[in-house]
Amino acid sequence: MPFPTHRSRRLRKNSAILRMVEETSLSVNDLIYPLFVCEGKDVKTEISSMPGIFRFSLDRMILDVQEAADLGIPAVILFGIPDKKDAVGSEAYNPDGIVQRAVREIKAAIPEMIVITDVCIDEYTDHGHCGLVEDGKILNDATLELLAKMAQTHAQAGADIVAPSDMMDGRVGAIRKALDQSGFNETLILAYSAKYASAYYGPFREAADSSPKFGDRSTYQMDPANSDEAIREVLQDIEEGADMVMVKPALAYLDIIYRVRQEINVPLAAYNVSGEYSLIVAASQNGWVDRERIIMETLLSIRRAGAKMILTYFAKEAAEILARRQGK
């Protein structure tokens, strides 16, 4: 019935009623905290384009992970910055590489923390691409073997979840087969299934030192104009054995998150990426936005679109805000 019989504002008359009828909620359990780990000791280097986010050596990383655990954050995802790079990204699948050691350190010190590892060779190659390169072309099938080896070494180190982000065709199937054959059938795969060729990744590439030295990634990452393609990519990854799937970036792709959620019955993640983080931080530092409110509104929008898990550089800050609001 129309006004005045129905008055929508009755459902907004006080905070208790607002909480009772709230359709979407955000919990610390929804948060995944990304970390950049590097060689050395006592290293905590702030990333210039991501104020408040750092590269950590293993000793300093453990302190940060413990802070996250104390805040109730259930999972971290690791990105490695090696000391040396080559054409085939050999440090990516070195059993004693930086990420492999980071996994072992975390699982030994904080065994309850879920450790996710990014599986992609771009941070480890001297050309900066996510696949092997021959005559300027990114090779798909030849890269799969390296990704499978990388995932195996992560699982051997104790990773709970491996997360292929390379966007090579067939990589989920290759990784699942390699993990199962080597006895890691319990290791989960979180596939970056709908990963777009986005300008929002700029600050990350500074953080991970992973900018391509030639060309771009448009031949393997998705065209931002495409939506139906995302559904095909997601369904293919699930068919190949992905336990969970991801949409990346989040904010400019809320429609994709929503569409994917309607199509699938596996857990869905979204990555609140570096450019999204940096835009909010810059605006808040200039006093243009209310930092706390815009962080929480942004994360809630990603949940509302349908993502259960949110990878976000705001994870610790959001966890603190949630705890304060809940009176903890």
Catalytic residue list: 195, 248
List all residues 6 or more positions away from 108 whose beta carbon is below 8 Å from its beta carbon.
Answer: none
* DSSP symbols for 113-162: SEEEEEE-SGGGBSS--SSEEETTEEESHHHHHHHHHHHHHHHHHT-SEE
The rounded distance, in Å, linking the Cα atoms of 322 and 328 is 9
CB 271 within 8 A of CB 250: yes
The rounded distance, in Å, linking the Cα atoms of 165 and 175 is 12
The rounded distance, in Å, linking the Cα atoms of 3 and 14 is 20
What is the phi/psi pair of residue 150, to 5°? -60, -50
Structure tokens at 195: 């990963």
